Chains A and B, each alone.
Chain A
Amino acid sequence: MEVPILKQGAVLIATFQAALSDADLNQLRMGLVQQVVKFRSRAVIVDVTAMDVMDSFASRTLREITHMIRLRGAETVIVGIQPEVAFAMVQLGLTLEGVATALDLEEGLAYLNEKFKSTN
């Protein structure tokens, strides 16, 4: 399944679809980092609004994506986690520790703006 990745200046925006298989997630992990390298992006926003479940594999993949992208000097923000999904995740102990999160795309971009301002 193709995950659309859009470029918005120095930020890449990847929009996850509803039912991503483990293979899709693996592909995405490599794909996103490659794109960060290619475009010299400063940040990636992963929009998971369409995901109505988040299992431990998806959760771990998101953490790994964040760490890999950080090694390229870029920031990752996960946005759009649904209330029901968030509830289910914390009950399973999947807290996405160490990963920045925001309510939605708008908030994610605002967060990144703040961050870039303070580091410039």
Chain B
Amino acid sequence: MTKREGTTAFPEPKRVEEPSELLRELVAHLRQNRTQLREEWVVRITETRLLTAMTKEEIFAEATSIYDSYVEALETEAFEALQAYARNLSERIIPRGVETHEVVGIVLLLRDVLARSLFEKYQTDFKKLNRILDAYEPAANRIANTVAVGFVQERERVIRQQQEAIRELSTPVLQVRERLLILPIIGVIDPQRARQLTEQLLRGIRTNRAKVIVIDITGVAAMDLTVANNLVQTVEASRLLGATVIVTGLSPEIAQTLVTIGVDLGKMNTVGDLQGGIEQAERLLGYKVEKLAEPR
């Protein structure tokens, strides 16, 4: 007889289970004890004060579907489904103010709850427990990772969307008279914002049937070559839509920049300040403004 340590009365099985068999076994166990384990998990979530932004019913509903998706992911190793689920989940709960640490937290709690359950089941067979954990741990960790990454990616997408909205809002295209638009630009213009401004303006010309546009850059401190060229292009593109552009409020610094980099100022109609620009625009449009009385 061969020497063995810690032998039992009967010989060890000659065959060691395949990892996939082990996985199937533990998945079956997790399914069988679904109700109980899920309940335990929800209790832990509440104890650790996670998901405080959601009601008990909402937590329970989400817990149910996360539990089932989790077990399914363990079983089929189809992480695409879990990824899609993670993104979906994020879309639903981000607007409710759930934080990243909460999402990671609850997934790790689930991992722990299920692991404890496995400890309990296989406590008499230490070697089997180890094999089960060998199958469970990598899969569980991948799931935690996938959900966390999916959540973060979704948040980043929302932030980008919001930034885009802020950019659009911060540069309104205003109609002040029939056929006359004003575009007051304030702050820093990077090439991306410049491009977005141009697109907004061209659409505005079309919608409002504008004939004259006053672009006021009093609020712009500095301009680089790319943005200066973009300004020229905006003027040219506006002309193609039948509109004249008057640029007002060039600071001495910007005037210097434009001259230095050789922008063809013949292509640009410039006036000192916004008031002058509007007055010229009105003249171009055939308006005459007359003072009829003193202000009261």
Query: Which of A96, A101, A111 has the most chain B CB atoms closer than 10 A to its own CB?
Result: A101
B241 x A81 contact (CB < 8 A): yes
User: In chain B, residues 194-233, which have Cβ atoms closer than 8 Å to a Cβ of chain A?
Assistant: 198-199, 202-203, 205-206, 209, 211, 233
A87 x B202 contact (CB < 8 A): yes
B240 x A89 contact (CB < 8 A): yes
A90 interfacial contact with B, CB 8 Å: yes
- Name 30 interchain pairs, CB-CB below 8 A, sorted by A: A78-B240, A79-B242, A81-B240, A83-B199, A83-B202, A83-B205, A83-B237, A84-B202, A86-B202, A86-B237, A86-B238, A86-B241, A87-B198, A87-B233, A89-B240, A90-B233, A90-B236, A90-B237, A91-B233, A95-B239, A101-B239, A101-B240, A101-B241, A103-B205, A103-B209, A103-B241, A103-B243, A107-B209, A107-B242, A111-B242
**Closest A-chain residue to B195, C-beta based?**
A87
A-B pairs with beta carbons under 8 A, tally: 51
Number of interface residues of B (CB under 8 A): 17
A66 to chain B, nearest CB (A): 14
B116 to chain A, nearest CB (A): 60
Binding site for B on A (CB under 8 A): 78-79, 81-84, 86-87, 89-91, 95-96, 101-104, 107, 111
Complex interface: chain B residues within 8 A of A102 (CB): 242
B24 to chain A, nearest CB (A): 56
Complex interface: chain B residues within 8 A of A96 (CB): 240
Binding site for A on B (CB under 8 A): 198-199, 202-203, 205-206, 209, 211, 233, 236-243
Query: Which of A84, A87, A89, A90 has the most chain B CB atoms closer than 10 A to its own CB?
Result: A90
CA distance in complex: A89, B236 (Å)? 9
A103 x B206 contact (CB < 8 A): yes
CA distance in complex: A111, B239 (Å)? 14
Complex interface: chain B residues within 8 A of A90 (CB): 233, 236-237, 240
A86 x B240 contact (CB < 8 A): yes
**Closest A-chain residue to B207, C-beta based?**
A83
